[in-house]
Structure 1
């Protein structure tokens, strides 16, 4: 009877360790289309924002489609802070306490987080591991995945992809402009 429990315990431990291993998580990811073909996505991420005089960490849920975005911002513990909506009529920033601000351009409303307008259309490209046609100093890995670029005055570094496949999506990226530094840790993608 002792040997049965020992075998059962060992098998259970192996199953639990396999389920927790990063390798198991990589195998569970669906095959990704070529990143140039992706037009819509949803992602969940943690954002670290550093700028002179302040440093913040927030959570973000982002639903993106052509000219349409819905971005929810929450504190580290999950408390809703604000929501940014963008569509063909313009952009709206709605804070958790009901404050509402409207603008023609979502980039200006994102400056509520960073003190510097963020180019939302470019951020959507960068999150996918893409850059504009005007990007400079572009460096790629052997699988042609973006590692480093300067795009519209912003420096973009992708330090980790979700796995080793050529069409894998970014998991960790940093963008910098002047004294603003943003680190985006993407935890989940939906295409």
Structure 2
């Protein structure tokens, strides 16, 4: 949403004008990213958002970005930005339909993981993010090891090995805060700085 701040009809002190602009921007941000309420801990978490950082490491190079992932039931929204805040790409979709937008345009496919790899060369397992981000194995995963609190420590799924290195409390439940994922010669480090209800 774009917000237009009209110039005052008469001169006002600079301090008041600055406060007005800051207040408008703050309200605009609140409208653009509304937060929901956490469900009770005994109910499934289906609507949420995470903010963090991701590093994709291969023998040839290392790429890093800020990550925003929002899940609304089966619909997801992914945004990657540079550490300077410029957009790298955005992706949104649902089962069987996904679109990715970057500096070259908007592209569509039926498989999010395949589309991301074709356009960036990154093997990022986004198809499994809805489960792995929450510390769940999903239908295809095999839990190798749990920690002393019964949370997943190590998970294997379709060639990927996922290590949960740190957990945090949000909405009355334990949720991952740091993950290491590896497959063949690819390593992915994911740090989650904030969980939000949606």
Q: Considering the TM-score relative to the shorter chain, is it more than 0.5?
A: yes
**CA-based RMSD:** 2.5
1:122 Cα deviation from its structure 2 partner: 1.4
Cα distance change, pair 166–176 in 1 and its aligned pair in 2 (3 A): farther
CA distance, structure 2, for counterparts of residue 164 and residue 70 of structure 1:
20
SS in 2 for 1:168: strand
The equivalent residue for 1:49 is 56
SS in 1 for 2:174: coil
Count of residues paired in the alignment: 159
1:33 Cα deviation from its structure 2 partner: 2.0
CA distance, structure 2, for counterparts of residue 127 and residue 32 of structure 1:
18
Calculate the TM-score normalised by the size of structure 2: 0.71
Greater fraction helix: 1
The equivalent residue for 2:87 is 80
Aligned with 2:78 (options 55, 62, 71): 71
CA distance, structure 2, for counterparts of residue 137 and residue 89 of structure 1:
27
The equivalent residue for 2:101 is 94
Instruction: Give the gaps of 5 or more residues in structure 1.
Output: 1-29
Calculate the TM-score normalised by the size of structure 1: 0.74
SS in 2 for 1:139: strand
Cα distance change, pair 83–172 in 1 and its aligned pair in 2 (3 A): same
Q: Does structure 2 conserve the Cα–Cα contact (< 8 Å) formed by 1:114 and 1:180?
A: no
Instruction: Give the gaps of 5 or more residues in structure 2.
Output: 1-37
